[in-house]
């Protein structure tokens, strides 16, 4: 089996992946992050000041990238324009970030569910598309239906 070349979603150069290795290296450099909220912190710092004084209810948080250029545009394309071709590259970034973190691997990967109206509007749950791919890359179990959204929330 062979892969046909495609255009990188960031730089528009030809690549074997939808997000080329050069763009990942340029825009997704690994950096120290707070284990409580994933904001960037200086090297050697585990928690930011806000998470020390008011910890979030999570044992550990992992983020692959900051929500800014080019990632915010790619996430928007996946969420609102059904750009499922981007889910593979984004899942690779997330799985690599989990592997690079000190966090223990979870037993199960669950997506944040969409309400029925939003699911019908989008035609898919982008969180599930990412969750199942991240789980596969990390050889973990995933499940789409264990959580439910009880309240429809605005965009």
Closest to 124 measured CA to CA, from 142, 110, 144, 141: 144
The DSSP output letter for 73 is H
What pTM value is reported for the model? 0.89
Which ranges of the chain would DSSP assign to H, the alpha helix? 21-27, 49-53, 71-81, 85-100, 116-122, 126-137
pLDDT score of 1 more than 80: no
* Closest residue by Cα to residue 29 from 104, 96, 103: 96
For residue 132 the two structure tokens come to: 């199942």
Residue 107's pLDDT band (boundaries 50, 70, 90)? very high
């Amino acid at each position: 089996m062979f892969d046909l070349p495609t255009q990188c979603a960031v730089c528009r150069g030809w690549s074997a992946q939808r997000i080329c290795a050069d763009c990942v290296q340029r825009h997704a450099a690994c950096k120290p992050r707070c284990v409580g909220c994933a904001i960037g912190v200086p090297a050697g710092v585990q928690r930011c000041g806000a998470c020390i004084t008011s910890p979030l209810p999570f044992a550990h948080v992992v983020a692959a990238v900051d929500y800014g250029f080019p990632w915010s545009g790619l996430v928007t394309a996946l969420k609102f324009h059904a750009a499922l071709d981007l889910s593979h590259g984004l899942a690779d970034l997330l799985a690599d970030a989990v592997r690079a973190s000190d966090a223990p691997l979870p037993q199960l990967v669950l997506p944040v569910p969409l309400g029925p109206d939003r699911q019908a509007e989008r035609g898919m749950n982008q969180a599930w598309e990412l969750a199942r791919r991240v789980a596969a890359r990390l050889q973990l179990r995933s499940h789409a239906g264990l959580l439910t959204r009880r309240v429809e929330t605005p965009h």
